[in-house]
Amino acid sequence: MIKPALINKNSGKHGATALTGVIGALLFFTTFFFAISVGSVGFSFSDTLRVLSNYLLGVGDTSDIPENLITIIINVRLPRVILAALVGAALSLSGAAMQGLLKNPLADGSTLGITSGGALGAVISIATGFNLPFFPNSGLILMSILFSFLSLLLILTLTYKIDYNLSNQTIILTGVIFSMLASSITSLIVSLSGNNLKQVVFWTMGSFSGRGWSHVALMMPFFLITATPLLCLSRELDAFSLGEEQAKYIGVSTKRVKLIILILVSVLIGVSVAVSGTIGFVGLVIPHITRFITGPNHKKLLPFSVLFGASFLMATDLLSRTVLSPAELPIGVVTSLIGALLFIYIFYSKTRAKG
Amino acid sequence: MLEVDSLSVKIGERKIVDNVSFVLKEHDILIVMGPNGAGKTTLFKAIMGIIPHEGKALLDKSDIKTFSTRELAKKIGVLTQKHQPRFAHSVYDVVSLGRYAYQKGLFASLDKNDKKKIDDALKLTGIYDIKNQSVLTLSGGELQRTFLAQLFAQEPKILILDEPTNHLDLQYQIAIFDIIREWVKQDNRAVMAAVHDINTAYSYGNRAILMNEGKVHVQGSVEQVLDREHLKAVYKVDVVDWMQSLLRYWDLQ
């Protein structure tokens, strides 16, 4: 009696996960092709597919497509779309991890002010010209990661001091204040160093404009070496999302795991900021939607956040460069608009649920 | 099994736990009583090394600090007083986390043995039927039993229970202490529980500690500790008088 029911239930669950996976993958690839094909110069899907398969796999013939158009796909669109996907994946993954770690559904790089801290680091490195020998852009990335980590530590320490339970209000308030402080210093430094206003907009609203393969090459290794271990920490994040004390009682080395997760998250956010400026709310929106679909179990939540986050940012980047074409909207405008609305919704429904 | 030697916890200038010593032996159900703020919860946290403290807690003759978190979780399990889940984990997911300490490797999943232990724990606490429900939808009692099930799935040797039946209906209060009384009969097991209800303490405990303002007021057998004078001194009311007048109601039934 019991056995068949059990088997049915399990296979049903697996089926659901597999289906979500297929839909997620479809969404990802559709967005990917759309984002590459659509723009100021449009391509048909079949042309895009032919150019990509010729470039990546060396199959097919593309001699009928003008050379300059192929260059647009390969050297302009493709790296930009890949970079958007990487940043989207990194921001959502870090958001999902932080929400579990802090047991707080509103935690995210932008709501906590970590992205603004990272941007401040990046701007300082540009203004001072700090760089390691032989590694171009290393100063930018290192300072961005370092400042992200320091911001995270500072904000968490402050919040713990004020309110040990890390309640929504305290953590968000601290984050907002820190974020305003960091972005105003950022704007000040950019203005003083004689850069134009466009730079300020880049660091406060983010953009993928003019990003190429060098940025992908910069981002990819950092993403891989931090996302992989983070995906392996799903059991620990499940435990943390029940509360830190509880996590310790069931055997999680909370101090060590927490430090590791905070470092991984800082690297993900720091690198994202270094290549694309501060793009707000992705880490809040995507894990929240993903949780609706997969449930809060991190074993599913984390990989699907990666998938959906990548698709989301490719799509928003597409929007930001086509809506006002030929002008480009900063991508942060689009994500913040969607994010802020969702933030209000979550905050409102949570507060109301509490009574 | 557990030996606590002059344990003190200071927060600022105030001593929350003041020079507490006791021994927990095999098969013990040691009841910790005392008014709110007597330091019961803080004592438990100090034993588990969650908060800084002076003095020592020895588990099987070695300092608890020398155990890894994972090893300690296999020896001592703690049921805390309050649970406030924020995410919609299923009951099963929460209980299965009790097996964390036994899982090795990065991609460890639940094996046959783990699953059996989880099912047993779910059945023991009477929540098997709601195992797929989200913890956000549970009543206080169901939530408490979910975490109790997690504790049983964890298979510790010592249970530290901080007011385990606080939110529970009467039938589950009885059921849980019956379960615990059976559980502790096996070799190498002991229970330590903070309890508010004196009647529960009497019926299930064999030894007791009465705490007041961080200090041990008295300890010994339940009969010695929960006597009229001691309770009066700590609770500032004649508890026995009050209990008798309350319980007289049933004589008329």
Asked if the bond preceding B85 is cis, omega within 30° of 0, the reply is no
How far is the C-alpha of A155 from the C-alpha of A96, rounded, in Å? Answer: 18
Contact call for B88 and A295, based on CB within 8 A: yes
* pLDDT of A336 over the 90 cut: no
pLDDT tens digits for range A305-327: 999 999 999 999 999 999 887 78
Contact call for B90 and A295, based on CB within 8 A: yes
Tokens of B196: 């508010």
Q: What is the CA radius of gyration of chain B?
A: 19
Across the interface, of B74, B88, B107, the residue whose CB is closest to A296 is B88
Closest CA relative to residue A224, chosen from A257, A259, A271, A262: A271
Tokens of B133: 């429900």
Give residues 44 to 63 of B whose Cβ lies within 8 Å of A. Answer: 45, 48, 50
Task: Give the total residue count for chain A.
Answer: 355
Measure CA A267 to chain center.
11
**Region A42-61 average pLDDT:** 85
Q: What is the CA radius of gyration of chain A?
A: 21
* B123 and chain A in contact, CB less than 8 A: no
Asked if B95 and B149 touch (Cβ cutoff 8 Å), the reply is yes
Q: How far is A289 from chain B (nearest CA, A)?
A: 13
Across the interface, of A245, A248, A250, the residue whose CB is closest to B97 is A250
Q: How far is B181 from chain A (nearest CA, A)?
A: 22
User: Phi and psi at residue B78, in whole multiples of 5°?
Assistant: -120, 130
pLDDT tens digits for range A254-288: 889 999 999 999 999 999 999 998 898 899 889 99
- In which residue are the tokens 């927060």 written? B11
Alpha carbon separation from A250 to A267, B69, B242 (Å, rounded): 28, 8, 40
* B104 and chain A in contact, CB less than 8 A: no
**Region A77-91 average pLDDT:** 96
Across the interface, of B86, B93, B103, the residue whose CB is closest to A103 is B86
Residue A5: predicted pLDDT:
34
Q: What ipTM describes this predicted complex? A: 0.90
pLDDT band at A2 (very low <50, low <70, confident <90, very high): very low
Closest CA relative to residue A94, chosen from A269, A260, A237: A269
* pLDDT of A79 over the 80 cut: yes
Q: How far is B188 from chain A (nearest CA, A)?
A: 20
In chain A, where do the E strands start and end? none
User: Phi and psi at residue B14, in whole multiples of 5°?
Assistant: -90, 135
| The overall pTM is greater than 0.90 | no
User: Phi and psi at residue A272, in whole multiples of 5°?
Assistant: -60, -45
Burial class from Cβ neighbours inside 10 Å (0-12, 13-18, 19+) for residue A217 reads: exposed
